[in-house]
A = this chain, B = another copy of it.
Amino acid sequence: MSYSSKLLQEAVAALSMLPGIGKKSALRLSLYLIAERQEDVLREFIAPIAKMISDIKFCQICHNLADGEICSICVERSHKSNTICVVESIRDVMAIEDTDQYQGLYHVLGGVISPLDGIAVEHLNIESLVKRVEGHNIQEVIMAVSPTIEGETTIYYLSKRLQPLGVRVTLLARGISFGGELEYADGLTLGRSIVTRVPYEISEL
């Protein structure tokens, strides 16, 4: 790419550091920012990003993103919930919050145990989870970890650590998706959903 401006070239290089943004996209974004300059882009675009990078913290209790030492979920719900939902990432917290079906606490592991990727127990936020369960009045820990081999390994390990503490360990329900076509469900899920079939209950929704 031929740049007549070194400033442009450096901004393109910075933007193309981002995942999924190539040189061409970065150029398009840069030219957009230049074109929109009159509306004080520096204040509207750069400032919030710079502020986030410099000020954002990880919650000292659940390791979710937080504006202060403790995240808003822990602040609001610590006194009224004794359930912890264990997830891999911050994005999983958002996904579950978006369902509006859960009002409890979270614990972000920061990944799953994966020897092949060099991720061991000590790289994850596991000790802090055990301490939370030991120290506070936690009655249930929901394992909302992906049902992959690494995820299952992590769930197994966590259960071994947590069950002796007298806490109830539960798992997200597994089976066919709502609204999915049966013929497109994968064989493993479909097979397991037959084996783990449940009694049909007429409910008034």
Contact = CB atoms under 8 A, between A and B. Distances in A.
B31 A91 contact: yes
Contact of A3 (B11, B19, B94): B94
A8 B65 contact: yes
A2 B97 contact: yes
Given A41-B53, A52-B30, A53-B46, A67 B7 contact: yes
Chain A facing B: main interface SS: helix
Q: How many copies does the complex hold?
A: 2
Given A34-B65, A37-B53, A52-B30, A72 B5 contact: yes
Contact of A65 (B4, B21, B42, B67): B4
A33 interface: yes
Interface string A13-51: 111011111000101111111100100011011111111
A5 B49 contact: no
Interface of A: 1-8, 10-11, 13-15, 17-21, 25, 27-34, 37, 41-42, 44-56, 59, 64-67, 71-73, 90-91, 93-94, 97-98
Given A7-B55, A33-B52, A46-B50, 17 more contacts: A2-B93, A2-B97, A4-B65, A4-B66, A4-B73, A4-B93, A8-B65, A10-B48, A11-B51, A14-B45, A14-B49, A18-B29, A18-B33, A27-B91, A30-B49, A34-B52, A34-B65
